[in-house]
Amino acid sequence: MSLLSVAIKRYPLALFTRTIVKPVTTQAMHIQSIPMWEGTGNNYAYLVSDDKTKEAVIIDPANPPEVSSHLKAKVDAGFKLMKLINTHHHHDHAGGNKEISQAFGLPVVGGRDCALVSETPGHQFKFNVGSINVTALHTPCHTQDSICFFFEDGQDRAVFTGDTMFIGGCGRFFEGTPKEMHKALNETLASLPDDTKVYPGHEYTKGNVKFAKKVLNNDAIKKLDEYSQANKETQGKFTIGDEKKHNVFMRVDDPEIQKVTGKTDPVDVMGALRSMKDNS
């Protein structure tokens, strides 16, 4: 019996029927990046809306003069702003809470130390923005009240990481330990689906690549280097799967990084990498 006839016998349907599955378009999540303090802090606020139900939330609107007009335009377009969400309490993320929450009548959802916070979701607490499912993920280290927010609309997934994860890097350990950042990046965020797009609190990619190249050479870092040289903005262009390849803080088991840091325990590697970056 030829190989083909064996295949036909075993997999008749797979060979001869071409099932064309039309993608069901359920995605209504729309993410608008709002750059703030361009050239200095290089922060991002994010206006996330569900085009189906016209519900929207604003994440880290720290500089009201740069954000308010976008919120007004959204309201004028018939959207209902539901919440102000903070990734952590630092002023360049939560410093606009008073003005924005009062102007638009929004509850503040975020970590316990955020200004005027009215709701602190527990780890893995879920809520909705229209038809978008949101999960709060506690990632203490940069601050103890750092929370990442995972947004899921059908097959469309995004995570807002504040200053915990950047494209190709992570935040400083102001209130936490290497052990906490290892857990935040390599357990909590690493367990999200690989196709989840990453939206960090700052545009720091160029600086992160510069450091990454000092400790590791791989194709993913080369690609990120090229992309960040050619594009001013990198948020939402890379996924959790990409971060596992080009983010050196997510490669604590990489032999090349272990060699450069002189450590093998993942937590020790994390601590050594952060010190090297802080002093670079």
Ranges within 104-133 binding Zn ion (CB under 5 A): none
The helix/strand count (H/E) of the chain reads as: 11, 12
Least Cβ distance, residue 47 to Zn ion (angstroms): 20
Cα(252)–Cα(276) distance, rounded to whole angstroms? Answer: 14
User: Does residue 225 bind Zn ion (CB under 5 A)?
Assistant: no
Sole residue written with tokens 């309490």: 89
Spatial CA neighbour of 147 closest among 178, 106, 119, 107? 119
User: Does residue 203 bind Zn ion (CB under 5 A)?
Assistant: no
Least Cβ distance, residue 89 to Zn ion (angstroms): 8
Spatial CA neighbour of 162 closest among 32, 280, 46? 46
Residue whose CB is less far from Zn ion, 96 or 130: 96
Least Cβ distance, residue 138 to Zn ion (angstroms): 15
DSSP bridge pairs for 50: 29, 55
List the Cα angle 150/166/66 in 5-degree steps.
80
Backbone angles phi, psi at 191, to 5 degrees: -85, -5
Residue whose CB is less far from Zn ion, 163 or 203: 163
Stretch that binds Zn ion, among 79-87, 101-109, 162-170, 178-186 (CB under 5 A): 162-170
# chain residues binding Zn ion, by CB under 5 A: 2
Catalytic choice (60, 89, 138, 142): 142
Least Cβ distance, residue 58 to Zn ion (angstroms): 18
Biggest distance spanned by C-alpha atoms of the chain:
77
DSSP bridge pairs for 223: none
Backbone angles phi, psi at 138, to 5 degrees: -70, 125
Least Cβ distance, residue 95 to Zn ion (angstroms): 11
Residue whose CB is less far from Zn ion, 91 or 259: 91
Concerning whether 88 is annotated as a catalytic residue, the answer is yes
Contacts of 25 (CB under 8 A, 6+ apart): none
Cα(115)–Cα(60) distance, rounded to whole angstroms? Answer: 11
Residue whose CB is less far from Zn ion, 86 or 258: 86
Concerning whether 92 is annotated as a catalytic residue, the answer is yes
Cα(265)–Cα(128) distance, rounded to whole angstroms? Answer: 39
User: Does residue 90 bind Zn ion (CB under 5 A)?
Assistant: yes
Residue whose CB is less far from Zn ion, 104 or 149: 149
Least Cβ distance, residue 137 to Zn ion (angstroms): 16
Residue whose CB is less far from Zn ion, 90 or 183: 90
Concerning whether 163 is annotated as a catalytic residue, the answer is yes
Of the candidate residues 60, 152, 163, 242, the single one contacting Zn ion (CB under 5 A): 163
Concerning whether 90 is annotated as a catalytic residue, the answer is yes
Give the strand pairing for 197-200 and 165-166: unpaired
Catalytic choice (50, 60, 153, 163): 163
Concerning whether 93 is annotated as a catalytic residue, the answer is yes
Residues that bind Zn ion (CB under 5 A): 90, 163
Give catalytic residue positions.
88, 90, 92-93, 142, 163, 202
